[in-house]
Amino acid sequence: MILCGVDEAGKGAVLGPLVVSAVACERQQDLAELGVKDSKALTPARRKVLSDEIRASFPVEVLVISPGEIDARGMTMNALMARSHAHVIAALRPTLAVVDACDVVAARYGAMVSSHLDIPCRVIARHHADRDHPAVSAASIVAKVERDRAIDALREEFGEIGSGYPSDFSTVRFLEQYFSIHQGPPPIARRSWETVRALAARHEQSSLLDFSGRGAE
């Protein structure tokens, strides 16, 4: 039996891509012996080493979704995640897939993923699967390393952008400065995210007040 684990990195980020990864194996024990665990519990250096080892020894599929694709999705974020998870599963053609649930109701999310598959594969969705299932842990590591590479490349182009998450002060400061200089969001931002919409509204209001003030002079 071929099993695959599926996870993603960057789902809640306001900058940069969403990365979805799947890792297949015959025995989860083989992955566990590498020392895989939830990517958030590993240092960047350790994640990189493990990602290279996983890629060298196991089938891996990665899907990178740009901010523009996320903004143009025409569906809920959970629906996009379900289609994306199904996409990487189909590429590896396992008989069983364990996915990190993106819905508060795990079984419902598993059914969403299954609805997009045209191969015979049982899908199990679990909360905290990246912590409890080695194959999902491996997928989380690969996804995180790929997203970190993407963020590093964006940092080279745009300067310090932080982690790309709206809770990161450096990310918010970058967005505010970019808005001030360019009168709009950067191309690496998810325009549909509340953080960007709020900044755009604030900037528009400030511009209107400034225009009104000049007109009164």
The model's pLDDT over 16-58, given as tens digits with 9 standing for 90+, comes to 999 999 999 999 899 989 888 878 888 999 999 999 999 999 9
Closest CA to 60 of 175, 169, 139, 117: 139
> C-alpha distances in angstroms, 128 versus 6, 49, 106, 115, 125?
12, 23, 10, 22, 10
Q: Output the pLDDT for position 216.
A: 47
Which residue from 11, 29, 28 is spatially nearest to 20, judged by alpha carbons?
11
**E strands, the chain, in order:** 3-9, 18-25, 60-65, 96-100, 122-126
**Share of the chain residues as helix, strand and coil, in percent rounded to the nearest 5:** 55, 15, 30
The percentage of the chain sitting over the pLDDT mark of 70, rounded to a whole number, equals 94
pLDDT at 41: 83
Share the mean pLDDT of the chain: 92
22, 6 Cβ separation under 8 angstroms: yes
Q: For residue 46, what are its two tokens?
A: 């350790």
What pLDDT score was predicted for residue 74? 93
pLDDT per residue over 77-104, tens digit each?
A: 999 999 999 999 999 999 999 999 999 9
CA distance 188 to 191: 9
Residue 211 — very low, low, confident or very high, per pLDDT cuts 50/70/90? very low
| The two structure tokens encoding residue 67 | 């901010």
**Residue pair 106/126 in contact by the 8 Å Cβ criterion:** yes
Question: Of 1, 209, 21, 5, whose CA–CA distance to 126 is shortest?
Answer: 5
Look at residues 85, 86, 74, 94 and name the one whose alpha carbon lies nearest to residue 116: 86
Q: How many of the other CB atoms lie within 10 Å of CB of 126?
A: 18
Running DSSP on this structure, what letter comes out for residue 185? Answer: -
Q: Which domains does the chain have, with CATH numbers?
A: 3-155 (3.30.420.10), 160-215 (1.10.10.460)
**Residue 123 reports pLDDT greater than 50:** yes
